[in-house]
Amino acid sequence: MRYDIRNHHRRPRLLFWGSLTLLLTLAAGALLGLSPGKAGAGASAQELGKLNRFLQNSNAKDEAMKIFRHGRDQIEDENWNSAAATFISFVTGYPKHKDVDAALYWTAFALKKQGKYAEADKQLERLIREHPRSNWLDDARAMRVEIAGQTGDSQTVERELDKNDLEIKAIALQSLFQSNPERAAAFVADLLKPGSTADRRLKENAVQLLGQHGGPKTTPLLLDLARNQTDPKLRKTAIFWLGQSGDESAFDLLKDIAKQSTDTEVAKAALFALSQHSSPRAYELLVELARGASSTQLRREAIFWIGQRGNESAADDLMKIYEAEQNTELKKHILFSLSQHHSQRARAKLGEIARSGGDVELRKQAIFGLSQNSDEASVEELIRIYDADSNIEIRKQVLFALTQTNSQRARAKLLDVARADADVEARKQAIFWLGQQGGDQAIDTLAQLYGSERDNSVKEQLIFAFGQSNKEAALQKLMQIAKSDASVEMRKKAIFWLGQSSNPKAVKFIEDILK
């Protein structure tokens, strides 16, 4: 079966989505059970780039900056203890230097990397207190919030949540979820109340964080959002995270949303959320929706997700739904889902439908489904259907299905049909598919067949097959036909296909004709 670069000197304030990389990094850490300030990780390319850009803009002749550059080298080498000591020596030795604020920031950075969060926070607090107009102020605030979960400084987080800086507020919310999930959930509940004037982007981030830090205490809020949120995007996000939660208390609501929502995308989100649960109850609801959802599109989606289940009961349920269904398009989707199941029972059902004298379109879908198994038993079944059936549409579909199996036995059957089948249309179809596959053996056989062929329509199909191949034998055969075939019409067709080739031999051949 089967998705910010910060310039230091006088840079503009970052837009919220400009910091998306940072937020996603934090979110990923939360999903893995890591804190954003986890010690031991190296400096990112973004962090190193920020430091290097700062040094590029500094005075190269400034003796003090030699210390700073040495600290930069130690950060690149991930020598955190020495880097912290180097930047502290800068602050101590040059307390009046215009870039002492930057040194305080990178001191804190190196301390954070060692897991010395309280010491790092002291450096950041000093930077903010002594340099209120520093270009590093936003970075310092962001780092303080980032490590607040490790320092136990919930006041810093709460203070930043009360400010209007969207970027810092988002990071603060992430930190609050790590240090105090209950308080964070309460903040999100208030943030998402009807009439809230909070920025929509912060709301989206809040719902994602709620889902990532899910559990019994956050599920009720996700359920309320899934049931009552008027913003479709926020509602779909809540529904998605309910699907990731594993909480069975969400199943009935998800089913009701899938059945009753007038917003198709919201309904599909609820159905997908159900499909992510492996529990028997979630599967039962999927089957119920596949049988009786009011929307054909939703039934189709439910049928697809049933097909992704690997158990035998899924094949049985698909077959039962198929037998009770009247809608041909839905029946085709059921057959496709059966083809994805790769079980003996599913293959047997596909073979039964493919052999039946029923609806040709359904038979063709079942034939295609057999080809998706790509085993020899399915190939033999396809060959038996071809030999026993007189319907040209069915026979053409079998020939196509054989090309999908990557089987030597299938290729041999195609060659037999191309060489000797009594039905000219079937021969032409087999020749077409052999030309598309284009193995050396197939081209050699087709080249030999051309010489003994009497039917002009078959010969035209052979020339077309040679024109579609990149094999040397096909090119040689086209040039032979163009040069000496008894039929002027066949020579013209061969010349046409040679003219479509970029092969130097074909180009020279055409140029020689024009001389």
What average pLDDT does this structure show over 493-506? 93
Alpha helices in 453-499 (DSSP H): 456-468, 472-484, 488-499
Q: Which phi and psi (to 5°) does residue 466 adopt? A: -65, -40
Quick: pLDDT tens for 147-159.
876 777 667 766 6
Q: Is-same-fold flag (4-213; 215-309)?
A: no
Q: Is the separation of the CB atoms in 173 and 187 below 8 Å?
A: yes
Is 90 exceeded by the pLDDT of residue 90? Answer: yes
Is 80 exceeded by the pLDDT of residue 25? Answer: no
Q: Which CATH number fits domain 4-213: 1.20.140.10, 3.30.470.10, 1.25.40.10, 1.10.645.10?
A: 1.25.40.10
Which residue has 């041909």 as its token pair? 328
Is 70 exceeded by the pLDDT of residue 411? Answer: yes
Encoded tokens for 337: 């889902």
Quick: pLDDT tens for 231-257.
999 999 999 999 888 788 889 999 999
Count of other CB atoms within 10 angstroms of residue 443: 24
Q: Output 149 or 377, whichever has higher pLDDT.
A: 377
Quick: pLDDT tens for 287-341.
999 998 888 999 999 999 998 887 788 999 999 999 999 999 999 999 999 998 8
Q: Where are the domains of the chain?
A: 4-213, 215-309
Give the model's pLDDT for residue 163.
Answer: 62
Alpha helices in 276-359 (DSSP H): 280-292, 296-307, 312-324, 328-339, 344-355
Quick: pLDDT tens for 54-70.
898 888 788 889 999 99
Alpha-carbon gap, residue 222 to 112, rounded angstroms: 34
CATH dotted code for 215-309: 1.25.10.10
Count of other CB atoms within 10 angstroms of residue 48: 14
Which residue has 């990149």 as its token pair? 470
Q: Is the separation of the CB atoms in 363 and 356 below 8 Å?
A: yes
Q: Which of 85-94, 238-247, 437-446 has the lowest mean pLDDT?
A: 437-446
Q: Is the separation of the CB atoms in 223 and 253 below 8 Å?
A: yes
